[in-house]
Amino acid sequence: MSKDECVEALAKHANIEPVITLTVWEELLKENKAFFQEYFQALSPRQSSVD
């Protein structure tokens, strides 16, 4: 699930404002660099196959 998909899903299903999700996402990126490097690598093939 991409960042945009997360923002949309949380707004729709949990009524969480996008600004909150984006703020949390950015803080998680700062604190968990190794995780997000792997996450983005895993997401990349999916994104290119979707395009």
* Domain ranges (residues) in the chain: 3-50
Q: What is the pLDDT of residue 31?
A: 96
C-alpha distances in Å from residue 19, one per residue of 8, 24, 33, 38, 48: 11, 9, 21, 24, 27
4 band by pLDDT with thresholds 50, 70 and 90: very high
Residue 18: C-alpha distances to residues 6, 44, 49 (Å): 9, 23, 26
Given this model, what pLDDT does residue 8 score? 98
- The pLDDT value given to residue 50: 46
Taking only the tens place, the pLDDT of each residue in 8-50 is: 999 999 999 999 999 999 999 999 999 989 988 888 875 544 4
